[in-house]
Amino acid sequence: MAAYLDPSLAALGDKIKADLDADILAVEIEKGELCLTVARASILRVLGHLRDDADCKFAALMDLCGVDWPERVERFDVVYNLLSMRHNRRIRVKLSTDENTPVESAVGLFPAAGWFEREAWDLYGIYFANHPDLRRLLTDYGFEGHPLRKDFPLTGYVEVRYDAAEQRVVYEPVKLTQDFRSFDFLSPWEGLGLAQLGKLPGDEKAAAPAPAAPAPTAPAKA
């Protein structure tokens, strides 16, 4: 903690660690903001302490979101961003979980968590136990999968259209209208160095212009 640049944040991090001990797995300062990594089972105890302790008073939940790290066993982070208007500072709290392990809902402590948790469930598939109304928020009720997972296909799994004959919205498996194509030239960003030389990738494929015919010469005078 001594290496931190902001003494007040360092002191607050030390106090929170002393108060909550094993509930706090890591304390660090990133970009001038105090960040706590907490045990998943302890999230409500930690959030309650941060909200109610006189030295904290982080009474406003500004954001709750998911982060996907598909190469990890516990692939998801759940990140809570809290604001203390009493002390005019922020704190970030995060925990890790997987597709099958629920995280306790924070709605009882911060009512604003209700829609945030629905969004994280909808887009990542992070399940929040004891949420009063955990259902999709941004995608349709018939949507399959969780579109912010990094292994979710860009095309999705189903497409939605209105069928005039049946007069209803229908869901169908995705059908690509054209084959995937591969291009054998670089993007303009990759070719930026060549562009500065007056040459772009692909220029070598253009047909060389036909040599110009020599201009007629006037007959020599005697």
- Options 3.30.460.80, 3.10.129.10, 3.40.50.720, 3.40.1210.10; CATH for 7-138 is 3.30.460.80
86 secondary structure, DSSP code: T
| Full DSSP string of 120-144 | HHHHH---EET-TT---SSS-TT--
SS3 state at 33? strand
**Digitized pLDDT (tens) for each residue of the chain, 222 residues in all:** 444 467 889 999 999 999 999 999 999 998 889 999 999 999 999 999 999 999 999 999 999 999 999 999 999 999 999 999 999 999 999 999 999 999 999 999 999 999 999 999 999 999 999 999 999 999 887 788 899 999 888 878 888 888 999 999 888 888 765 555 555 555 555 555 555 556 665 666 666 667 777 777 766 665
- Please give the model's pTM, rounded to 2 decimal places: 0.73
Q: Do 102 and 127 contact (CB within 8 A), yes or no?
A: yes
Q: Do 185 and 202 contact (CB within 8 A), yes or no?
A: yes
For the chain, the domains span 7-138
